[in-house]
Amino acid sequence: MTKAPETEKETQRIEAFSDGVFAIVVTLLIFNVKLPDPAAVTANGLLAELAKSWTIYLAFAASFFFVLVMWINHHRLFTIIRRSDNNLMLLNGLLLFGVTVVPFPIDCRGVPA
């Protein structure tokens, strides 16, 4: 059994997996943003049609920054953590589960949008 170099952290695989999950979550956020109808754009203008969907853009921006803050904090934690165990992997998985819920908006009635 070979020993890992001292410069290599034991948590690299966890960090790489987590970064992948964060990347997928950020990608999924944009799927809630829809293009305006071309006929309506022609009739009313692009800015007017985009203004009708301001809540979607606000939700996208808020969700993106929420995920960004979580990713930054996750990154900062792993600059301190040097070794992993089952508890760390379980807690990290629960955190990632929480992050993956962000792209699924719920409207005011509690029904998926």
Q: Using one digit for the tens of pLDDT, what is the confidence trace for 30-52?
A: 887 888 889 998 999 999 988 88
- Whole-number Å distance between alpha carbons of 74 and 68: 10
What pTM did the predictor assign?
A: 0.76
Could you tell me which residues are beta bridge partners of residue 106?
Answer: 112
- Whole-number Å distance between alpha carbons of 6 and 32: 44
Q: Using one digit for the tens of pLDDT, what is the confidence trace for 63-98?
A: 899 999 999 999 999 999 989 999 999 999 999 999
Q: Using one digit for the tens of pLDDT, what is the confidence trace for 2-21?
A: 555 555 578 999 999 999 99
